[in-house]
């Protein structure tokens, strides 16, 4: 398929600098402590309340605060300093979120959906204690939580160290040796440049644009998040000007569109995101959503979506449709996307080889660049990276085998095979990381082959549930490869990252436990105080529990066996390949394929419409206003919007925490 014009725009935004500088110093140390104390609880809280991933927002907020303090102290910050601060903020904030955080652990052992499927009783004690008396205390400072907390910290340490192993090797291969463009790498680097210009008293378009986006984000955040937070904290009941986290239209549309979950989010962040992401991906998502709107009523009348009933609402509609059809259909779509990605990589390699054979390319790949990195970039020897990769992977294998086969002996004497763990770490992970990193370097998309982990668990013959909660050595380092490329574009020495890691790990380890404890002590998680978690966590538990039941012993059909229908998987697989073939025949953008698949999966129906609106506004309104400068402007505006929304949220969150702390004081 042809190279997308918008990717060429990203490709040309920034070039590799000729000079690299250290970004680590005493000033970044002070700000790292600040973000650990302020931003970490804000990220956890807002994810529970609105499902808002405030990682980037909190990063930008901290960096802006740092820049403004430095300006008033008559100090100038360089781009590498800003990048290191941004990096440390992201690491500290993300450490407490995701499905591996402690709040999720305590919920999962109490989940109603897990209990219904018979999984809850098999969740191992090293993941979370299941004793109701312990859980009712709502505290992680209990002897029963010692092993889960220690395991969380150990896994976190391996993850941070592992970043400098295979991910760094893939960066050297794809960026230095093959010189792939990495079209998405300039996105964050452009924001760093804008803030560096502001710190150096330069009145540039970047800073003005960033400020405009920041004001818009602050204004929207005040309406969308601050008002519900403050009213809920001080009056006991939240006043929501806009529905949070979405408005459910299903009760009004179910007669016309039965079995179709109709939800829409009023979060302006989705519109901003739609402006930034590739246009054809957003178009494809909307097309996929429309096709789903047409297909679900037909599937319902054809007695495929048999579990759906009128009046159950949007979330419950998604859940029943997953069981009846979309679990298997989605697996087929995911397999097709992975196949398309691999085909795209292979075709690009063949084309390059053919061009070289025909003399179109005068020089091939210079493998000597693997051992001759750019001067002064702060690279370390490749043998160190290999040692890190081998050691961390061996650590994962040892911990996983000990937990699954020794601490929690499997049922019916079926141990999880050691050779499979070795295959994950030393065969599959390097292979998929290289393929995915090349895809990221060529078209800005990563290859994800779905169901590898799940299928191997099931086919291994293992009986039990512990393996689903263990840290297995199955990773894709394409994201870390992209991060190293961004580091390079900002002119930051890689040694600065190593120093930053040594600083932030203790902050992450302590901060995650402390602030998770504080939030849990406020109220049950989830509860009405945390609307997003209250709406979506049971759905997430249901999705995961379906798969977990595949390895549970017992007679009769498990929920997994009911949901897994090979015919539906094949329909999804060949449908996606058919769409790809048609689009490839007409030379349409490959992102259209990914977008259509995303829309057909029914996973985020409330977000697709506002993102599509944002894409239309960006392409047909703002593009005409700003011309060829729009690709640069939209990135900086989006970063400013996230920052502004983060600033106003931080202010309200401080009041919420103070209010809750005061309420819990003994009388």
Q: Give the 3-state secondary structure of 412-465.
A: HHCCCCHHHHHHHHHHHHHHHHHHHHHHHHHHCCCCCCCCHHHHHHHHCCCCCC
pLDDT mean across residues, the chain: 81
Highest mean pLDDT, choosing among 178-187, 327-336, 383-392, 520-529: 383-392
Q: Which of 86, 100, 89, 103 is nearest to 45 (CA)?
A: 103
The pLDDT of residue 501 is above 80: yes
Question: What pLDDT does 454 receive?
Answer: 86
Residue 136 binned pLDDT confidence (cut-offs 50, 70, 90): very high
What average pLDDT does the segment 376-403 reach?
A: 93
Predicted TM-score (pTM) of the model is: 0.76
Instruction: Give residue-wise pLDDT tens across range 592-627.
Output: 777 787 677 766 678 889 999 999 999 999 988 888
The pLDDT of residue 404 is above 80: yes
Give the H or E element holding residue 248.
strand 247-248
Question: What pLDDT does 295 receive?
Answer: 92
Residue 99 binned pLDDT confidence (cut-offs 50, 70, 90): very low
Instruction: Give residue-wise pLDDT tens across range 559-576.
Output: 888 888 889 999 989 988
What average pLDDT does the segment 32-59 reach?
A: 68
Residue 98 binned pLDDT confidence (cut-offs 50, 70, 90): very low
CA dihedral 76, 79, 82, 84 (to 10 degrees): -130
> What is the number of other CB atoms lying within 10 angstroms of the CB of residue 324?
23
Cα separation values, 27 from 65, 72, 164, 493, Å: 13, 14, 24, 17
How many angstroms from the chain centroid is the CA of residue 570? 27
Question: DSSP characters for 91-102?
Answer: HHHHTT-STTSH
Cα separation values, 440 from 175, 182, 185, Å: 11, 6, 9
What is the DSSP-derived secondary structure letter of residue 325?
Answer: I
What is the DSSP-derived secondary structure letter of residue 21?
Answer: B
Token pair in block for residue 655? 């009041």
Spatial distance between the Cα atoms of 360 and 487, rounded to a whole number of angstroms: 32
Token pair in block for residue 521? 């002590």
Phi-psi region at 3: left, alpha or beta (left = phi > 0; alpha = psi -120 to 50): beta
Question: What pLDDT does 296 receive?
Answer: 92
Q: What is the 3-state secondary structure (H, E, C) of 370-411?
A: HCCCCCCCCCCCHHHHHHHHHHHHHHHHHHHHHHHHHHCCCH
The pLDDT of residue 354 is above 70: no
Residue 12 binned pLDDT confidence (cut-offs 50, 70, 90): low
Contact 579, 596 (CB under 8 A): yes
The residue whose two tokens read 């048609």 is 582
Highest mean pLDDT, choosing among 138-152, 426-440, 508-522: 138-152
What average pLDDT does the segment 539-547 reach?
A: 88
The pLDDT of residue 468 is above 90: yes
What is the DSSP-derived secondary structure letter of residue 470?
Answer: S
- The domain ranges of the chain are 5-548+568-658
Sign of CA dihedral 408, 413, 418, 420: negative
Spatial distance between the Cα atoms of 382 and 369, rounded to a whole number of angstroms: 12
What average pLDDT does the segment 96-108 reach?
A: 74
Instruction: Give residue-wise pLDDT tens across range 145-167.
Output: 999 999 988 888 888 888 899 99
Spatial distance between the Cα atoms of 96 and 213, rounded to a whole number of angstroms: 27
Question: What pLDDT does 445 receive?
Answer: 62
Residue 2 binned pLDDT confidence (cut-offs 50, 70, 90): very low
What average pLDDT does the segment 272-296 reach?
A: 87
Cα separation values, 249 from 447, 533, 610, Å: 34, 20, 15
> What is the number of other CB atoms lying within 10 angstroms of the CB of residue 9?
16
The residue whose two tokens read 């560096």 is 196
Question: What pLDDT does 38 receive?
Answer: 67
CA dihedral 90, 95, 101, 102 (to 10 degrees): -130
Residue 631 binned pLDDT confidence (cut-offs 50, 70, 90): confident
Spatial distance between the Cα atoms of 629 and 190, rounded to a whole number of angstroms: 13
How many angstroms from the chain centroid is the CA of residue 648? 23
Give the H or E element holding residue 263.
strand 263-264
What is the DSSP-derived secondary structure letter of residue 466?
Answer: G
What average pLDDT does the segment 365-372 reach?
A: 76
Measured in degrees and rounded to the nearest 5, phi and psi for residue 248 equal -90, 110
The pLDDT of residue 666 is above 50: no
Contact 178, 365 (CB under 8 A): yes
Contact 35, 93 (CB under 8 A): yes
Question: DSSP characters for 599-619?
Answer: HHTTS-HHHHHHHHHHHHHII
Spatial distance between the Cα atoms of 355 and 486, rounded to a whole number of angstroms: 29
Spatial distance between the Cα atoms of 234 and 227, rounded to a whole number of angstroms: 11
CA dihedral 205, 211, 214, 220 (to 10 degrees): -100
Cα separation values, 187 from 87, 172, 182, 198, 437, Å: 14, 20, 10, 18, 17
The pLDDT of residue 448 is above 50: yes
What average pLDDT does the segment 93-101 reach?
A: 58
């Amino acid at each position: 398929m042809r190279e997308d014009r918008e990717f060429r725009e990203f490709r040309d935004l920034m070039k590799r600098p000729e000079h690299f500088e250290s970004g680590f110093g005493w000033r970044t140390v002070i700000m790292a402590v600040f973000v650990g104390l302020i931003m970490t609880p804000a990220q956890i809280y807002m994810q529970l309340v609105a499902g808002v991933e405030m990682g980037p927002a909190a990063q930008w907020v901290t960096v802006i605060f740092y820049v403004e303090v430095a300006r008033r102290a008559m100090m100038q910050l360089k781009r590498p300093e800003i990048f290191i601060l941004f990096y440390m903020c992201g690491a500290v904030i993300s450490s407490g979120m995701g499905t591996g955080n402690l709040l999720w652990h305590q919920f999962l052992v109490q989940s109603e959906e897990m209990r219904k499927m018979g999984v809850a009783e098999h969740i191992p004690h090293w993941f979370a204690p299941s004793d109701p008396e312990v859980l009712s205390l709502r505290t992680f400072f209990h002897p029963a939580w010692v092993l889960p907390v220690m395991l969380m910290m150990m896994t976190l340490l391996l993850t941070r160290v592992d970043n400098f192993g295979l991910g760094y090797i893939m960066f050297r291969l794809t960026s230095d040796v093959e010189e792939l463009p990495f079209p998405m790498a300039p996105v964050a680097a452009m924001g760093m440049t804008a803030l560096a210009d502001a710190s150096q008293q330069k009145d540039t378009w970047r800073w003005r644009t960033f400020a405009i986006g920041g004001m818009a984000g602050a204004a929207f955040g005040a309406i969308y998040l601050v008002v519900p937070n403050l009213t809920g904290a001080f009056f006991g009941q939240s006043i929501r000007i806009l529905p949070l986290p979405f408005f459910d239209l299903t009760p009004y549309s179910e007669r016309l569109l039965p079995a179709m979950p109709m939800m829409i989010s009023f979060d302006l962040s989705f519109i901003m995101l739609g402006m930034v992401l590739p246009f054809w991906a957003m178009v494809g998502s909307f097309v996929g959503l429309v096709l789903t709107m047409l297909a679900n009523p037909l599937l319902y009348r054809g007695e495929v979506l048999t579990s759906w009933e009128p009046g159950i609402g949007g979330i419950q509609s998604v859940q029943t449709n997953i069981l009846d059809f979309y679990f298997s259909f989605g697996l087929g779509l995911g397999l097709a996307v992975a196949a398309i990605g691999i085909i795209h990589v292979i075709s690009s390699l063949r084309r390059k080889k053919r061009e070289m054979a025909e003399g179109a390319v005068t020089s091939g790949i210079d493998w000597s660049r693997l051992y001759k990195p750019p001067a002064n970039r702060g690279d370390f020897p490749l043998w160190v990276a290999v040692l890190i990769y081998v050691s961390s992977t061996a650590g994962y294998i040892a911990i996983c085998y000990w937990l699954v086969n020794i601490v929690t002996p499997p049922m019916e004497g079926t141990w999880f095979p050691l050779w499979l763990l070795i295959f994950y770490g030393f065969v599959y992970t390097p292979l998929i990381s290289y393929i995915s990193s090349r895809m990221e370097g060529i078209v800005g998309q990563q290859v994800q082959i779905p169901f590898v982990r799940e299928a191997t668990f099931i086919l291994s013959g293992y009986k039990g549930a512990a393996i689903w909660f263990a840290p297995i050595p199955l990773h894709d380092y394409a994201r870390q490869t992209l991060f190293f490329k961004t580091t390079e574009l900002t002119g930051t020495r890689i040694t600065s990252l190593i120093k930053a890691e040594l600083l932030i790990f203790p902050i992450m380890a302590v901060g995650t436990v402390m602030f998770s404890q504080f939030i849990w002590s406020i109220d049950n998680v989830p509860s009405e105080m945390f609307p997003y978690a209250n709406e979506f966590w049971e759905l997430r538990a249901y999705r995961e529990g379906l798969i977990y039941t595949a390895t549970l012993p017992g007679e009769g059909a498990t929920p997994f066996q009911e949901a897994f229908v090979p015919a539906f998987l094949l329909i999804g697989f060949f449908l996606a390949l058919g769409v790809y073939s048609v689009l490839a025949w007409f030379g349409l953008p490959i992102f259209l394929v990914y977008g259509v698949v995303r829309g057909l999966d029914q996973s985020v129906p409330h977000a697709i419409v506002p993102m599509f609106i944002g894409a239309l506004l960006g392409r047909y309104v703002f593009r005409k206003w700003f011309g060829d400068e729009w690709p640069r402007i939209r990135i900086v505006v989006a970063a400013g919007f996230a920052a502004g929304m983060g600033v106003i949220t931080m202010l309200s969150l401080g009041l919420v925490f103070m209010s809750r702390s005061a309420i819990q004081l003994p009388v």
